Amino acid sequence: QVHLVESGGGLVQAGGSLRLSCAASGRTFNLYHMAWFRQAPGKEREEVASISRAGDNTNYADSVKGRFTISRDNAKNTVYLQMNSLKPEDTAVYYCAGSGHYYYTKSMDFDSWGQGTQVTVSS
């Protein structure tokens, strides 16, 4: 279990960029695979990107591949989501999540969640 707090959300015009940060408490952040999820009103929660505990593996949803980049700095207990070329359909609440699963897979369970940060992209 790790406590997560997101920041960096806000309002941005289409085509712009935004960088989200997720700060984790404790000294075991390096043991968690991390991911960013998002949920728009009326839509199901969607996994946007994930990164393995050492940062050597990443995965992206097709809808954001080539535009978003997930990274982590284990020394700072922080995971980032750099979002470029933003589109109105990227508007959602973005959540940081952590998984204690040993293996990095596309079907990991996430048991630690942040409170979310709102990202709004205007056209």
pLDDT in tens, 87-113: 999 999 999 999 999 899 988 999 999
Q: Residue 28 has what pLDDT? A: 86
Helix, strand, coil fractions of the chain, as percent rounded to 5: 5, 50, 45
Confidence of residue 48 (pLDDT cuts 50, 70, 90): very high
Residue 118: count other Cβ atoms within 10 Å of its Cβ.
Answer: 12
Would you state the structure tokens that stand for residue 20, as one six-digit string? 């989200």
Tell me what the mean pLDDT of segment 5-25 comes to.
97
Q: How large is the average pLDDT for residues 39-61?
A: 96
| pLDDT score for 110 | 95
Q: Provide, rounded to the nearest whole percent, the portion of the chain with pLDDT above 70.
A: 100
